[in-house]
Amino acid sequence: MDKYKLDALVSPTDSPAWMSDLVDGDHFLGGSSQLAAVAGYPHITVPAGFVWGLPVGISFFGKAWSESTLFKIAYGFEQATNTRRLPKFLKTADLTI
């Protein structure tokens, strides 16, 4: 990051969200935050949009002690994209596949 004068790295947080599968369970495909967590580097995730009506996030990773910079970048992304939505609470769940 120093060599290329980067403030942060950016990545999709995870695969798109999935509907709960009451028979086979969840289908988690892995995320992007594990390496930062193991290495002890800061990471922040914010809403990035929706795929098939389900949320997806974007992650920003920084150098050690760069939390304030990541907050600024994440806040700027949220303000520029305005993708956050209030949750919708449905009376029933459509569990048909």
pLDDT for 29 = 65
Instruction: Note whether residue 88 is domain-resident.
Output: no
Instruction: Note whether residue 4 is domain-resident.
Output: no
pLDDT for 28 = 66
Instruction: Note whether residue 34 is domain-resident.
Output: yes
Instruction: Note whether residue 74 is domain-resident.
Output: yes
Instruction: Note whether residue 33 is domain-resident.
Output: yes
Given its phi and psi angles, is residue 58 left (phi above 0), alpha (psi -120 to 50 degrees) or beta? beta
Query: How many structural domains does the chain have?
Result: 1
Q: Between the CA of residue 39 and those of 9, 45, 50, 61, 74, what are the distances in Å? A: 15, 17, 29, 11, 21
What angle (nearest 5°) sits at the alpha carbon of residue 82, between those of residues 78 and 85? 105
pLDDT: is 38 or 3 the higher one? 3
pLDDT for 94 = 61
Instruction: Note whether residue 40 is domain-resident.
Output: yes
Instruction: Note whether residue 95 is domain-resident.
Output: no
> What pLDDT, in 10s, does the model give residues 24-79?
777 666 677 777 888 889 999 999 998 877 788 999 999 999 999 999 999 999 99
Rank 7-16, 39-48, 87-96 by mean pLDDT and report only the highest.
39-48
pTM of the predicted protein model: 0.76
Which range marks the domain in which residue 61 is found? Answer: 9-81
Q: What backbone phi and psi angles, to 5 degrees, belong to 60?
A: -120, 130
